[in-house]
Structure 1
Amino acid sequence: MATAKGQRRSTIYDIATATGTSPATVSMVLNGTWQRYRISEATATRILDAARTIGYNVNMKARGLRLARSGLAGMIMPHYRNRFFAGLSETFEAGARARGFCPMVVSTQRKPETEREVVERLLSHQVEFLFIVGVANPDPLNELCSAANIPCVNIDLPGANAPSVVTDNQGGARMLTDILLDKIAAPDPSFHFLGGVAGEYATEERIAGFSQALASRGIALPETHIHRCGYWPPTARQSIEHLHDKLGGLPAGLFINSITAFEGAVQFFRALPPQAFEGRFIGCFDWDPFAAFLPFPVTMLRQNVEAMIEQGFSYIENYRAGDHPLTKVPPQLGPSHVKVPA
């Protein structure tokens, strides 16, 4: 709020800077919802005192106060094609609305140039914070947010320049591989890993957990048993078809890195006879309830989108510039597969 002609209006970002809190926290204090989100009375008092000092109207019901902020909460994500990303989006939208914000969610199709363009556009619309989901290199986007004094948090894939919340990919992969190993009778089973991108954080963490579980049973993992074929279903289908032809059948154990790669594998599996799956065990690091209707058993992990988004909001509400913690959220074992009678 200006005190003399020509002076810039004070904003919630000025209050956030003055009090060492986030704009989101300032907004919740000024609109009277701070107690609902467990913001301490001491923090609320500090924010209100700072608001009075710079001439901000602290009447919680005042219309003019609400117009001093955009009320927009932003999220970018790769796409909506699987339950994981769709679940993150839906949970984020519900969480943003519950906190008094209007959510804006935009897909970027994993294109860095689109990611940057969308973030710049969202910042120009004065979003109050931004969730950056599934971006392989979020650091440049984190820097854009920092330059605009807008809090952000990375979800799914971590970055060095903002708080990050990711699935415990390594721990989950060990758990899933151990479950598959417990089902296989062969003393030295042939295990293969399918899907993902070389050098990507989630892929390499899952490969590490997969390898550790095998090593703990005395099973070596040749590099030729790792097939980083990406996430696109047609490519995954080609990769599993090639592996099947090379081995003369499916391997005893197959770890599939994502639901989109699994989709491609299922397209190939449809051409196989039921006996092709006898003594073969398949796991997927993702979850879809429709897998229960497949004519072969599959063990799936469900990433805990609710816990991930809640932790993301916690980081935003307690944001500190220069503080970039990382939280790993354990995945959950999906419901047991029940084979549908023929």
Structure 2
Amino acid sequence: MSLTLQDVADAAGVSVSVASRSLNGRAREYRISEATEKTVKKAAAKLGFRPSQVARSLRLKRSGLVGVVVPDLSNPFFASIAREVTLTAEHEGYSVIVADSRETTANEEQLIEQLLARQIEALVVCPVGRRHEHLSAIDGTGLPVVLVDRGFAKSKLVQVTSDHRCGAQRATELLLDHGHRSIGVLQGLPGTLPNDQRIEGLREGLAKHDIQLDSAMIAGDSFSEHSGYESAKRLLSLHPNITAFFAFSTPNALGALRLISEMGLRVPKDLSIVTFDDIPFADFMSVPLTTIAQDVPALGRTAAELITQQLRSGKRPRIKKHSMKVHLVSRDSIGEAKR
């Protein structure tokens, strides 16, 4: 026979409600003495009783679950965000379910529906970033929703993003300071906030030196290694005078590095490269990458804190948009341009 809460109550000589409150950490709230609480816990341990989380969730109408959806778990950037959200949420007593949308909005919508069916209490999404109507609809039901990284400029959703424009300006100025004027741009997913703001920062950085951005020097359709490889290949075939690449993600940069190696070229002697994002093993690469690093721990923690604050208070954050600073990590992948 399976043990019940009644069995524990009988063994401890208390009522079922006292046994329940003692085991659920609510003894002080209901003025149950420490001695009684210890007696109940001792009886439960002796019997080998384990509370049913399912029964507790049904009773309290709470699951204790937070859903997290990211576009690509193989990308260290998104994996790190998911980890930070998980650590913070678990510290607050919540469990996390992580899902990978594989960079498609259709998958994102389907995964979110599955998470809602699991009775999640809140949702953290690194969205694909082209549409937000489905996310706004969920937010409208009262379920706490926080977006990370790829927000939406005209949305009222709570968003935690990085200062992409400033970072792109800094990367552009760094290349220009080294004499580079023919710069190939390996962009990510067009139409997304990080991609568009990085292009804007690039344009502004060039404009400070009276240089106009040439759209023909931009290629790419995703933040993936494959896109970086194919984009670099296309740009070098059309513009063999390119002296540097600005990659909008580390996977984009890795794709470009693979192509450069296949062509028998060297970084930074033949081609320089700077990228957005950083990876833990960047210092150990044959040519350590110079990067504009986002504060990934701050992105993940801030998102999780905004979620748990809403769950505790039942109130939406007053400030909807949160921007995290970026910083330059100088390494060895940028050299002087050949004049």
> TM-score scaled by structure 2?
0.74
Residue 272 of structure 1 aligns with an amino acid whose one-letter code is M
Query: How high is the sequence identity, in percent, across the aligned residues?
Result: 23
Amino acid at match of 2:320: P
Query: For 1:270, what is the secondary structure of its paired residue?
Result: helix
Aligned-pair distance for 1:323? 5.4
Structure 2: distance between partners of 1:65 and 1:271: 59
Map 1:238-317 to 2 at 5 A.
Answer: 238-248=230-240, 251-274=242-265, 277-278=268-269, 280-296=271-287, 298-317=289-308
Against the structure 1 CA distance between its residues 272 and 311, is the aligned structure 2 distance closer, same or farther, given a 3 Å change threshold?
same
Q: 2:331 aligns with which of 324, 327, 336?
A: 336
Give distance in 2, aligned partners of 1:73 and 1:218. 49
Unaligned runs of 5+ residues in structure 1 are 1-29, 33-56
- The residue aligned with 1:37 is none
Alignment of 1:51-90 (within 5 A): 59=30, 68=60, 69-90=62-83
Are the counterparts in 1 of residues 157 and 320 from structure 2 also a CA contact under 8 Å?
Answer: yes
Structure exhibiting the larger radius of gyration computed from Cα positions: 2
SS in structure 1 of the partner of residue 262 of structure 2: coil
Q: Superposition pairs for residues 92-103 of structure 1, below 5 Å?
A: 92-103=85-96
281 and 60 in structure 1: CA distance in 2 versus 1, 3 angstrom threshold: farther
2:140 is aligned to 146
> Which residue does the alignment assign to 2:101?
108
Q: 3-state SS of the aligned residue for 2:281? A: helix
How far the C-alpha of 1:134 sits from its partner, in A, is 3.0
Quick one: which amino acid aligns to residue 137 of structure 2? E
Q: CA deviation at 1:242?
A: 2.3
Q: Distance in 2 between matches of 1:338 and 1:115?
A: 35
Among residues 174, 177, 182, which one is paired with 2:177 in the alignment? 182
Number of residues paired by the alignment?
A: 281
Distance 1:338 1:224 in 2: 24
Structure 1's 233 and 317: CA in aligned 2 closer, same or farther, altered over 3 A? closer
Does the 8 A contact of 2:272 with 2:333 survive in 1?
no
Match of 1:126 among 101, 119, 125: 119
CA offsets per residue over residues 261-285 of structure 1, 9 Å max, x none? 1122122011233567426421101
Give the drift of 1:315: 2.5
Q: Which residue of the other structure, out of 182, 185, 188, is the alignment partner of 1:193?
A: 185
- Of 214, 224, 238, the residue aligned with 1:232 is 224
Moved more, 109-118 or 95-104: 109-118
